[in-house]
Amino acid sequence: MFLKFFKKANPPDDLQLVQQYRVTGDMDCLGELFERHTEMVYLVCLKYLHDEDNSKDATMQVFESLTELLLKHEISNFKSWLHVITKNHCLMQLRAKKGQEQVRLEDASPPFMENADLFHLSDAELQEQSEQQLRQGLETLPPEQRTCVELFYLQQKSYKEIAEQTNFDLNKVKSYIQNGKRNLKLYLEKHHEPR
């Protein structure tokens, strides 16, 4: 019983730190997030950039960008959101670098010739582009649909768990997921046309 008084309070979780930063602008919150996730961000950068120094620089750039990004985006899962932000940052660097290199036409396979955007994208970049479109599509959904779709598909929650977590009726949860999935499909079809 006596030791209970000396027990440390649980540290705030990532979303609490994000919220605290959004309200107060306290850079210590970002510092704490930086300490928790530097290794993950660095490893993602290293995976894409294949260079330690560039990956260290990119890690710092990602965390510097958070000062503004955290104020612009609603975040439900900080770690996965940060992972996507990091991958997108690396891909933008790779595209900028690729734009400076000469592309030999004989290196491209014929199917890519019809679409100029795809001509410059590797498989990893195409996957990243798809993930980015998916994230953008999720942002267009009504909040209830977005919440239920993210919990069901991204966090693998059951209908019952989602109903308990959101206080939505079970039938509403199913409806939000079904409608959200349909709306997301329509968004992706509309925005996946070749430019």
What are the boundaries of each domain within the chain? 14-101, 124-191
pLDDT in tens, the chain (195 residues): 455 555 566 788 999 999 999 999 999 998 999 999 999 999 999 999 999 999 999 999 999 999 998 888 888 899 999 999 999 999 998 888 876 654 444 444 444 444 444 444 555 665 666 777 777 888 888 889 888 888 887 778 888 988 999 999 989 988 888 888 888 888 878 776 443
CATH class entry, domain 14-101: mainly alpha
Q: Please give the pLDDT value at position 123.
A: 58
CA separation for the pair 192, 195 (Å, rounded): 9
What local confidence, expressed as pLDDT, does residue 15 receive? 92
- pLDDT on residue 105: 45
> How high is the pLDDT of residue 185?
84
Say yes or no: domain 124-191 is CATH 1.25.40.340: no
Q: What is the chain's mean pLDDT, rounded?
A: 80
